[in-house]
Structure 1
Amino acid sequence: MLRSARTYAEWLQTEGYTGVVGFDFVEYVHPDTGRPQHVLAEINARVNEATYPSFLVEHLNAAQAPRGQPLIHAFRSAKVSPKVRSLTELREVCGQLLFNPETGLGVIPYNIGRLPYGRCDVVALGDSRRGVEDLFEIFCEVI
């Protein structure tokens, strides 16, 4: 999806578009191959749910590359309802799952101001779709 979004963004630039743009994709399992596929559902000339995680991946990869650390190739972002009610509690419960630049893997919570109300957003980062999905599931079980 990231590759497709980049291709669409480059095309929009050639058409003269500037600014933030969000792409909504629908993901499905191809009936013949059994592999995940996606199609573009909508282009939004505004910030959407994937904008912050996408910028975060871009920012982290820009820092990872010069240090020779693993690049992030996949992410999953979602709203979660943790049992913990503070960042301190969150770190205590799942500190080992938080993003580690040395491995290029981990979870980054954001919009943490809502933790006292049992809500926050999270992005799981990694090198593969399956790895990110597994990491996200483990994180959700722990919090």
Structure 2
Amino acid sequence: MMLGLAHEICGEGGIGWSRRLMLFRPAMEMDPLPPGMQLMAERYRYDFDEADRAEERTAGILSALTKQLASQKSKGSDYFVGDSVSALDVYFVAFMNLVKPYGDDIVPIPADYRPGFEGIGPFIEAALDDSLIAHRDFIFDKYFRSPMEY
């Protein structure tokens, strides 16, 4: 269970992969491409068909994570698997910045880039259950430090 869900977050076709495709999309539609964009697209194996499906794919993964979290809550657990924090919880917090980034006080994002990170689309917005945000915040508050803490 944990490895499969971890792959859905950070593996090929997962949340990180799909959100990167969505972030690249506006630049990939420019004519001419911005300098270096073609090389970056090749290195990251950008694919227009995959980019077309990226939002729905991300929404589906978020829905699966919501169901898993609800199942765990019904068993009295605050974690995605088992009764303690796992790599899955950590991956989730890290990759959620591509879906619902923290404010600049916690995770600074350059002002020019923030709209791209916040432009998640209607499918993802609908799938982004409050329980996922609460879980992200719980894990972050309990197990992480802000990168702005010295």
User: With structure 2 as the length reference, what TM-score do the two structures score?
Assistant: 0.26
User: With structure 1 as the length reference, what TM-score do the two structures score?
Assistant: 0.27
Q: Which one has more relative contact order, counting CA pairs under 8 Å at least 6 apart?
A: 2
